[in-house]
Copies of this chain bind each other. A is one copy, B any other.
Amino acid sequence: MRLTTMIAVMLAGPAAGYEPLVEKQEFTLENFTTRGGEVIPEMRLGYETYGKLNEAGDNAILIPHYFSGNSHAAGKYSEDDAAPGYWDSIIGSGRPIDTDRYFVVSVDTPVNLGAHDPNVITTGPATINPETGKPWGMDFPILTIGDFVDTQLGLMEQLGIEKWHAVMGASMGGLQSYEWAARYPDRLERVIPVISSGWADADLIAWLDVWGSPIRLDPNWNGGDYYDGEAPEAGLAQALKIVTLHANSAEWTNGAFGRDWAEEGADPGEDWANDYKVVDVLNGAGAARASVSDANHFLYLVRANQQFVAGHPEGSLYQGLLDIDVPVMLIHTDEDLVFPGNAVRETGAIIKSDGTPVEFVELEGTRGHLDGVLGIAQAGERIRAFLEAE
């Protein structure tokens, strides 16, 4: 299967879904102040909406995105698009997140990976710093997941929404969901963190560092100062390869590729130029993705995720989780290498310990962490009921 086909199949939901064509919109926050106290003169970000905000303004659902994702959660930009947004299987008319009923808002984060993707609008190290007229590079403030949430708070105010009916996101989108519930418990009714846990533990911190490692070794990275020359695309491609592998499962790699060679007759035991198919496909996926992504943005995302503790409490991993008092649905899978099932269960146990209602939904599948994106439809009716509950 060709890579583009494979990616299309990976992302494809059922044919129907959110029917109207989707348009990327944008919003700007002037003098956005980070939680660390730094000021970003202009924070410009993209977002998409599906459905309509009702008059009471109480039917809005926020969908923050995962590490390598963006605000394209549902629908298509044009009839010809190979695939709709990543959670199209649960968002649309009649679907669990029913756009006849809810107004769905999906937002690009700052330092979004796809800085050079025409369908992403973000602000980060690749953006021109209005004060210098040059890209920020590594002088861009180090952000946190809390800062991402604060940009969404800004959008919320611009849209005139007082309270989200729900916040739901996968992986890094799940971290943003926890953060909303821990930090702004009055601004949402319920929360659905998917394939994510309440803080970045040492294991995740270390693996995130491994993800970013190839970028720092690419001589083109040059300490993050590369916007005048060649981008560190080779390092970024390898970084994205690691993410893809880590977010998948042995069941997938073994089932899809086995010990096949990249080219028939080209034995990897005979020549260094030959390789295995699984490596070749992962390299191809990484390279394709690298061409629209930014290496510094990748490193900023790594650091944002490493810093994550829900609610960012000083001195306690648990306080932010205990501050959550809206109903919680945790969707996870035990085959997840990035956010293992036991970390999610521990998170849920802490939230529940002071009486907050927590429901668990365990996904089945063969794709590991990615099942939270590819396999989300199996939780559809549970999500629908959770959203509809009084």
Rounded to whole angstroms, the CA-CA distance of A142 and B275 in the bound complex is 13
Interface residue stretch chosen among A12-20, A88-96, A113-121, A214-222: A214-222
The answer to whether B269 touches A202 (Cβ under 8 A) is: no
The answer to whether A206 touches B282 (Cβ under 8 A) is: yes
Q: For chain A residues 201-241, which have a beta carbon within 8 Å of chain B?
A: 201-203, 205-207, 209-210, 213-214, 217-219, 234-235, 238, 241
When A36-B269, A142-B269, A303-B268 are in contact, do A250 and B203 touch as well, CB less than 8 Å?
yes
When A203-B253, A241-B210, A340-B250 are in contact, do A307 and B36 touch as well, CB less than 8 Å?
no
Q: How many residues does chain A have at the interface if contact means C-beta atoms less than 8 Å apart? A: 52
Rounded to whole angstroms, the CA-CA distance of A202 and B261 in the bound complex is 10
Rounded to whole angstroms, the CA-CA distance of A250 and B205 in the bound complex is 11
Whether A279 sits at the interface, judged by CB under 8 Å, is yes
- Chain B residues whose C-beta falls within 8 Å of the C-beta of A245 in the assembled complex: 206-207, 210
When A210-B241, A217-B214, A250-B340 are in contact, do A272 and B202 touch as well, CB less than 8 Å?
no
Tell me the nearest residue of chain B to A206, going by C-beta.
B278
Rounded to whole angstroms, the CA-CA distance of A306 and B245 in the bound complex is 16
Q: For chain A residues 165-210, which have a beta carbon within 8 Å of chain B?
A: 199-203, 205-207, 209-210
- Chain B residues whose C-beta falls within 8 Å of the C-beta of A343 in the assembled complex: 250
Rounded to whole angstroms, the CA-CA distance of A242 and B238 in the bound complex is 13
Query: What are 8 of the A-B contact pairs (CB < 8 Å)?
Result: A138-B272, A142-B269, A202-B254, A202-B276, A202-B277, A214-B214, A272-B303, A276-B306
Top 6 nearest A-B pairs by Cβ distance? A203-B250, A202-B253, A217-B217, A202-B257, A202-B278, A203-B253
